[in-house]
Amino acid sequence: MDKLKRDFLSISDIKNEIDEILDLAISFKNGKITGKPLEGKSLAMIFQKSSTRTRVSFEVGMYELGGNPLFLSSSLLQMGRGESIADTAKVLSRYVAGIMIRATSHQTVIEFAKEANVPVINGLTDLEHPCQALADIQTIYEKKGDFNRKLGYVGDGNNVCNSLLLISAYLGMDISIATPKGYEPNEKIINQAKNISKETGSNILITNDEKEAVFKADVVYTDVWISMGDEEDEEIKRNKFLKYQVNTELMKLAKDDAIFMHCLPAIRGEEVVTEIIDGSQSVVIDQAENRLHAQKAILYYLLK
């Protein structure tokens, strides 16, 4: 067993390799990397929450690289009956080459990584969704050609937003985030991103003003108002988020050639209106496709 392993729990874990992983993702998409580099290797995929894109892109990605993906619903693992994370992580490490986990709490993923002897990948937690952010920058690069851009994010300052904030800071891309009061991104991540931006030149704005966030943006991005596990104060939240909806009026404040992005799943009529998400500026399906290419890049990078 190898204790010298790389985990991918946060965008900061790959801060020096973002360009390299992006290049790999593009090469996978263009068919420039072929063969079965992960032949004979298995990936355990543990899900404590629902998933369509993450599950299927990791599963298909692993298959296309010659490896063997194992879908493990946490409720059917002994973990769901109280087996410790440590025992689960140590035992799985004897069978598989890597572990991907979508967890309710970021702490679970950190503990998993500490106990596992193989690379652990964050497939979404309450704090970050780094795999999503990698596919997103691939999409922005494809559509815009560079990162000398402004991303305007409106809505919940949650997992997706936190990872976008970090990756933008590392790439030197400008990012303006507008959320209702009390739903700002994670404070530690804001500070981390602001420190990074001193080196990279990224302009970072955290505001409650949705118009300012999308003004002259090249990319307008939003995420659901009610994330998985946040169902408790649904109605209160919906009311606070109303003015952060991406609609035709808000979209008009962005550049004429701005693209609309969403990690999906989306609720039409809540965070975005149908005219925008199904309109000509929307790139959400290409963005979802890139999850597959980005996932293959991550798997190749960590497990080959």
25 binds ligand CP (CB under 6 A): no
Residue 60 CB, nearest approach to ligand NVA (Å): 17
222 binds ligand CP (CB under 6 A): no
Closest residue by Cα to residue 154 from 18, 15, 286, 276: 276
- Return the residue of 19, 32, 52, 146 that touches ligand CP, per CB under 6 A: 52
- Return the residue of 53, 106, 237, 293 that touches ligand CP, per CB under 6 A: 53
31 exposed, middle or buried (CB, 10 Å; 0-12, 13-18, 19+)?
exposed
Radius of gyration, alpha carbons of the chain: 19
Q: Which of 126, 136, 174, 223 is catalytic?
A: 223
Q: Which option in ligand NVA, ligand CP, none does residue 159 bind, with CB closer than 5 to 8 A by kind?
A: ligand NVA
Binding residues with ligand NVA: total (CB under 6 A): 9
- Segment (H or E) for 105: none
Q: Which two tokens stand for residue 149?
A: 């851009």
Q: Rounded distance, CA 221 to CA 156, Å?
A: 11
125 binds ligand NVA (CB under 6 A): no
- Nearest 10 degrees: Cα torsion 28, 33, 34, 40: -80
Residue 162 CB, nearest approach to ligand CP (Å): 14
Q: Which two tokens stand for residue 94?
A: 């004897």
- Active site (annotated) includes residue 291: yes
- Active site (annotated) includes residue 78: no
- Active site (annotated) includes residue 161: no
Distance of alpha carbon 282 from its chain centroid, rounded?
18
Residue 229 CB, nearest approach to ligand NVA (Å): 7
Q: Which of 55, 129, 262, 293 is catalytic?
A: 129
Q: Rounded distance, CA 288 to CA 219, Å?
A: 16
Question: Could you tell me whether strands 150-154 and 98-102 are parallel, antiparallel, or unpaired per DSSP bridges?
Answer: unpaired
The DSSP code sequence of 258-273 is -EEEE-S---BTTTB-
Q: Which option in ligand NVA, ligand CP, none does residue 52 bind, with CB closer than 5 to 8 A by kind?
A: ligand CP
219 binds ligand NVA (CB under 6 A): no
- Active site (annotated) includes residue 129: yes
Instruction: Tell me: cis bond preceding 69? Omega within 30 of 0 counts.
Output: no
- Active site (annotated) includes residue 132: yes
- Return the residue of 154, 224, 276, 302 that touches ligand NVA, per CB under 6 A: 224
Angle ∠(132,106,297) on CA atoms, nearest 5:
30
132 binds ligand CP (CB under 6 A): yes
Q: 């005219």: which residue's tokens?
A: 275
What residues from 225 to 284 belong to the interface with ligand CP (CB under 6 A)? 263-265
Interface with ligand NVA (CB under 6 A): 124, 158-160, 223-224, 227-228, 263
Residues serving a catalytic function are 102, 129, 132, 223, 263, 291
Interface with ligand CP (CB under 6 A): 51-54, 124, 132, 263-265
